[in-house]
Amino acid sequence: MNTTPAPDDTALGEHLRRTLRTVAETITDNGQAPTSDTVVPFFERPSRKPARKNIAIAAAIAVTGLGLVAWNTFEDGEIERIPTEAALMQGSTEGFDWWLIPSAAIGHTNPCGVAFPGVELVSSSTNKPGQEWNTGGVNYGLNLLDEQAPEDGTFTYDCSNPQSEFDETAWSGDPTLMNVGFTRLGRNNDPDSPWGAFAAMHPTIEQINVIVDGNTIDTIDTVTKTDEPSGVRYAGFTIPSDACTFRLEYLAADTETPVLSKTSTIC
């Protein structure tokens, strides 16, 4: 890449350098820095308002009505690092590295402080140190809040007895129930970015086919969380940037025929 400014920009560049240097030098230290290497500071975060959690239902397909079964989250929590050691699946697509990570390992909780039971797809491109989390996630099970949700969708969390709002066992008798979501691996408004997609499904679903435009583009072996080897199964996969829909065939362990074929529209 040519980083040399055009000739007519040279004078402007020099002026900008002088401006920025002169302005910067007006800032002096107020004396908070330690004076010796023997001083071990403890870097407390500046006081700030309580973390704001803004979970928006987006790009989600839910088999139940109102609950936060799949979501994209933009959270006011600084990313210190992506806990890749907790990843259940990982991949790299068109230069985008991504991981499927339990929400608990990321630290995402409901308003009562209970970790979401599901998983989130984390792209390195949109989750840099210092940024806010920008992930897509999915949970599994009956959302207990649906039982109390009024028609306007306003949920009430009772934190006197903090618990997860997802009852996974309620879906144990029906392998056709699942949740699917997706998010861009790159910037959310970048039409050239491939999609990262994720699904949560019944413990008997060990494999899924990913179908785009009638062609099976991937077959995914589903995974469980490491501490729940017989529990809910999850899958992460990618969809081309220009795809408008994708279809999943969920293959149960005890049958060769799909238990469900589910089409998701993403464009």
On whether the CB atoms of residues 132 and 79 are closer than 8 A, the answer is yes
Nearest residue to 123 (alpha-carbon basis) of 175, 63, 198, 29: 198
Nearer CB in complex with another protein: 9/221: 9
Nearer CB in complex with another protein: 30/257: 30
Secondary structure (3-state) at 42: coil
Measured CA to CA, the distance from residue 224 to residue 232 in angstroms comes to 6
Nearer CB in complex with another protein: 80/256: 80
Q: Does 43 bind another protein (CB under 8 A)?
A: yes
- The region of 14-22, 149-157, 200-208, 245-253 touching another protein under the rule CB under 8 A is 14-22
Q: How far is the CB of 4 from another protein (least distance, A)?
A: 10
Q: Does 21 bind another protein (CB under 8 A)?
A: yes
Q: Does 22 bind another protein (CB under 8 A)?
A: yes
Question: In the window 124-143, what residues touch another protein (CB under 8 A)?
Answer: 125-126, 128-132
Q: How far is the CB of 228 from another protein (least distance, A)?
A: 28
Nearer CB in complex with another protein: 130/150: 130
Q: How far is the CB of 49 from another protein (least distance, A)?
A: 11
- The region of 39-47, 85-93, 163-171, 174-182 touching another protein under the rule CB under 8 A is 39-47
On whether the CB atoms of residues 264 and 180 are closer than 8 A, the answer is yes
What are the residues facing 220 on neighbouring strands? 208
Q: Does 51 bind another protein (CB under 8 A)?
A: no
Nearest residue to 183 (alpha-carbon basis) of 52, 88, 61: 61
Measured CA to CA, the distance from residue 73 to residue 120 in angstroms comes to 10
- The region of 122-130, 137-145, 205-213, 214-222 touching another protein under the rule CB under 8 A is 122-130
In eight-state DSSP terms, residue 85 is G
Which of 46, 50, 113, 229 is in the footprint of another protein by CB under 8 A? 46
How far is Cα of residue 262 from the mean position of the Cα atoms in its chain?
A: 21
Nearer CB in complex with another protein: 43/113: 43
- The region of 77-85, 113-121, 202-210, 219-227 touching another protein under the rule CB under 8 A is 77-85
Measured CA to CA, the distance from residue 38 to residue 250 in angstroms comes to 60
* Strand residues in the chain grouped as ranges (E): 53-56, 60-61, 70-78, 89-93, 96-102, 119-123, 132-138, 142-143, 166-167, 179-184, 195-201, 205-212, 215-221, 223-224, 233-239, 245-252, 258-265
Q: Does 13 bind another protein (CB under 8 A)?
A: yes
Q: Does 214 bind another protein (CB under 8 A)?
A: no
Q: What is the largest CA-CA distance in the chain?
A: 73
Q: How many residues bind another protein (CB under 8 A)?
A: 46
* Interface ranges with another protein (CB under 8 A): 1, 3, 5, 9, 12-13, 15-30, 32-35, 37, 39-46, 76, 78, 80-81, 125-126, 128-132
